[in-house]
Structure 1
Amino acid sequence: MEIIPGRGVELVVIGDRRAQVEERLGPPRGDPGRDPAVYATTPPLVISYAPDGTVELVEIGYSAQGGEAEASYDGVQLTHRLIDVVVAELHARGYASTPCDVGHDFHAGFSVWSMRVLWAGEVDPTAGEDDPRCVVEGVSVAPYSYFSGA
């Protein structure tokens, strides 16, 4: 699933109304009024809504299936890969980022992050049990100001 930096993904973009999203994706899993709302897509989409009911943040989780089932941008698979490798590939393509507590916020309008649920051995068979490298578990998409607070 290709991200659109600062905007979202093809299925859901910043500013869409909740009714529009649910018309396209169906109802969210669990409590329909819950925010953020989790949708049964592959990869999974987690949508945060502003008080006026419009999309303010689009998050894409990892699927562990590879290919189109992972978030990508500009030919780089973003999710379910080592975060240092993803960041290095994006920097090599000219995309600047700022480190944050759980990953990197890219000035183009997205963030790659890890909550350390996955371990390096899930994506690198040579990794030892104590390998500290992080795996990208998700991508958040919004204008850079959402991440920077500016």
Structure 2
Amino acid sequence: MEIIPGLGVDVVKIGDPRSQVEERTGPPYHGPGGLRAVYTTAPMLVITYAEDETVELVEIHYSGEGGDTEAHYDGVQLTHRFLDDVVADLHARGHTSTPSDIGHDFHAGFSVWSMHSLWAPDLDPEADEHDERTVSEGVSVAPYAYFVER
């Protein structure tokens, strides 16, 4: 799934009304009617809604299956890879970012992050249990200000 920095993904964009999101994705399997809803898309989407029921944040979680079921941008697989490799690849393509407590916020309008639920051996069978490389588990898409002004 390709992200559109600052906007979302093809099926869900910032500012879309909840009713339109659910017409395209079906009802959420978790959080119906709440400010956060989880949709069974591939990869899974977690949508944060503003009080007016419009999309405020689009999150794409890793699938672990690779290919189109992971989040991508500018030819870079963003999820289910080592976070440092993702950031290095994006920086090499000229995308700039600032570090956050869980990952990197990119000026283009997205954040790559890890909640540390995966560890290096999940990606690299040769890694030992003490390997501290962080795995990119998700991408959040919104305007850059959303990430740095909170």
Pairwise same-fold verdict (TM > 0.5): yes
Poorly superposed stretches of 4+, deviation over 3 Å: none
Q: Using the TM superposition, name which of 63-72 and 119-128 deviates more.
A: 119-128
For 1:98, the equivalent position in structure 2 comes to 98
Distance 1:121 1:60 in 2: 22
1:55-83 CA-to-partner distances (Å, cap 9, x unmatched) read 00000000000000000000000000000
Q: Percent identity?
A: 68
Question: 1:48 is matched by which residue type in structure 2?
Answer: T
Distance 1:44 1:105 in 2: 21
1:131 aligns with 2:123: no
| TM-score normalised according to structure 1 size | 0.97
Secondary structure at the counterpart of residue 85 of structure 1:
helix
Distance 2:123 2:144 in 1: 28
Distance 2:81 2:61 in 1: 12
Distance 2:138 2:38 in 1: 13
Distance 2:116 2:76 in 1: 21
CA root-mean-square deviation = 1.0
For 1:145, the equivalent position in structure 2 comes to 145
Pairs aligned (count):
150
**Unaligned residue ranges in structure 1 (runs of 5+):** none
1:34: Cα distance to partner? 2.4
Question: 2:76 is matched by which residue type in structure 1?
Answer: V
Secondary structure at the counterpart of residue 111 of structure 1:
strand
Q: Using the TM superposition, name which of 31-40 and 49-58 deviates more.
A: 31-40
Question: 2:46 is matched by which residue type in structure 1?
Answer: V
